[in-house]
């Protein structure tokens, strides 16, 4: 049982990174109507920027903020130069984001190399609570994620910006007539999702080594999380991330570890077939085609 508890706490920190990317996808997909396959690459770029800065002697938390800003800028550029033109044809935007992910991945390989990168954990303390070892860095990752989730959740459900955003998803034309700058909101959501990916990348490299190929692995988990929970639903992304974390912990402990990746894929396929709108329900994606 204690081993299981240990596994659970460990997978909670992994789930945090998954929740961050899943939340970015769920917001961008569900609210801005853009399927961004390059989100995983955004996370990887965020991790790489953090790595480069920490290697240059910058404090980890400063590097994290710089990575968030840099990836946010990347998102802004991508939205303005690419996705803006495919808003009416989401399928083309999706294919384009695949192209973008291929470009980003190979540009990172070109400028750095394929070798995995890691940093020494910025916080190395280990707390023992009731016989369970808790690595402080993992607890910090979980705490940061919890704060970001809370801010995002209340931002979308309570603030006037969140209300305006949901209004422009529900009815673009009416929202525009009410004076909501719909396109600017789309940009805003895209940039916010990118910033979350940058944060996810920075937190991820604090926990595990990452390679230029990390993005293409994590993106599937991100999609799984957002689709399991329901698109555009922040709470759903959290639930989805926790489900995946739990499945992973159980699989690592009781199942066949080499099949770990398969379980989350199977969970996602089954949920998509049984409940296409996700467990908690959400918008059906960009104009539900």
The Cα 96–Cα 243 span in angstroms is: 30
Residue 139 CB, nearest distance to another protein (Å)?
31
Options 59, 88, 92, 159; binder of another protein; rule CB under 8 A: 92
φ/ψ (deg, to 5) at 105: -60, -45
Number of residues that bind another protein (CB under 8 A): 44
Residue 226 CB, nearest distance to another protein (Å)?
10
281: left (phi over 0), alpha (psi -120 to 50) or beta: left
Residues in CB range of 10: below 8 A, 6 or more apart: 138, 249
Options 106, 157, 159, 174; binder of another protein; rule CB under 8 A: 106
The Cα 172–Cα 138 span in angstroms is: 41
For residue 24, state whether it binds another protein (rule: CB under 8 A). Answer: no
Q: Can you name the residues that pair with 133 across neighbouring β-strands?
A: 128
For residue 94, state whether it binds another protein (rule: CB under 8 A). Answer: yes
DSSP at 280: S
For residue 286, state whether it binds another protein (rule: CB under 8 A). Answer: yes
Options 3, 57, 110, 177; binder of another protein; rule CB under 8 A: 110
The Cα 171–Cα 103 span in angstroms is: 34
If the CB atoms of residues 96 and 197 are measured against another protein, the closer one turns out to be 96
Length reported for the chain: 289
For residue 259, state whether it binds another protein (rule: CB under 8 A). Answer: yes
Contact code string over 66-85 relative to another protein, x by CB under 8 A:
----------------x--x
Options 134, 227, 228, 239; binder of another protein; rule CB under 8 A: 227
If the CB atoms of residues 31 and 53 are measured against another protein, the closer one turns out to be 31
Options 91, 147, 170, 178; binder of another protein; rule CB under 8 A: 91
In the three-class reduction of DSSP (H, G, I as helix; E, B as strand; rest coil), residue 113 is classed as: coil
Options 5, 8, 109, 250; binder of another protein; rule CB under 8 A: 109
If the CB atoms of residues 33 and 142 are measured against another protein, the closer one turns out to be 33
C-alpha neighbours within 13 Å on the C-beta side of residue 117: 26
Options 76, 220, 246, 250; binder of another protein; rule CB under 8 A: 220
Residue 94 CB, nearest distance to another protein (Å)?
6
Q: How far is CA 280 from the centre of its chain?
A: 18
For residue 123, state whether it binds another protein (rule: CB under 8 A). Answer: no
Alpha-carbon distance values, 125 to 121, 122, 223, 279 (Å):
10, 10, 33, 37
Q: 72 is written with which tokens?
A: 């946010």
- Using the contact rule CB under 8 A, the part of the chain among 1-9, 160-168, 246-254, 259-267 near another protein is 259-267
For residue 100, state whether it binds another protein (rule: CB under 8 A). Answer: yes
CB 36 within 8 A of CB 236: no
Closest alpha carbon to 79 in 45, 28, 43, 41: 28
Q: Which residues bind another protein (CB under 8 A)?
A: 29, 35, 82, 85-86, 89-92, 94-96, 98-103, 105-107, 109-110, 216, 220, 223-224, 227, 256, 258-259, 261-262, 265-266, 268-269, 272-273, 276, 285-286, 288-289
């Amino acid at each position: 049982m204690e081993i299981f508890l240990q596994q659970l706490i460990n997978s909670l920190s992994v789930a945090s990174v998954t929740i961050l990317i899943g939340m970015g996808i769920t917001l961008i997909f569900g609210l801005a109507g853009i399927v961004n396959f390059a989100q995983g690459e955004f996370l990887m770029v965020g991790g790489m920027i953090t790595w480069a800065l920490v290697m240059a002697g910058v404090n980890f938390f400063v590097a994290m903020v710089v990575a968030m800003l840099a990836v946010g800028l990347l998102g802004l550029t991508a939205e303005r130069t690419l996705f803006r033109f495919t808003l009416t044809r989401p399928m083309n935007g999706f294919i384009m984001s695949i192209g973008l992910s291929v470009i980003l991945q190979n540009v990172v390989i070109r400028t750095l190399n394929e070798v995995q990168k890691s940093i020494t954990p910025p916080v190395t303390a280990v707390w023992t609570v009731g016989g369970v070892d808790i690595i402080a860095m993992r607890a910090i990752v979980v705490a940061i994620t919890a704060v970001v989730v809370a801010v995002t959740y209340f931002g979308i459900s309570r603030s006037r910006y969140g209300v305006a955003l949901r209004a422009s998803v529900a009815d673009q034309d009416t929202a525009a007539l009410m004076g909501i700058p719909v396109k600017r909101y789309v940009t805003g959501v895209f940039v916010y999702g990118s910033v979350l990916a940058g944060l996810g990348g920075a937190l991820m490299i604090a926990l595990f080594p990452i390679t230029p190929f990390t993005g293409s692995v994590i993106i599937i988990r991100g999609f799984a999380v957002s689709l399991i929970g329901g698109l555009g639903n922040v709470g759903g992304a959290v639930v989805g991330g926790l489900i995946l974390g739990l499945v992973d912990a159980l699989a690592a402990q009781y199942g066949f570890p080499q099949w770990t990746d398969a379980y989350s894929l199977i969970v996602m396929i089954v949920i998509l077939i049984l409940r296409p709108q996700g467990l908690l329900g959400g918008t059906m994606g960009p104009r539900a085609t």
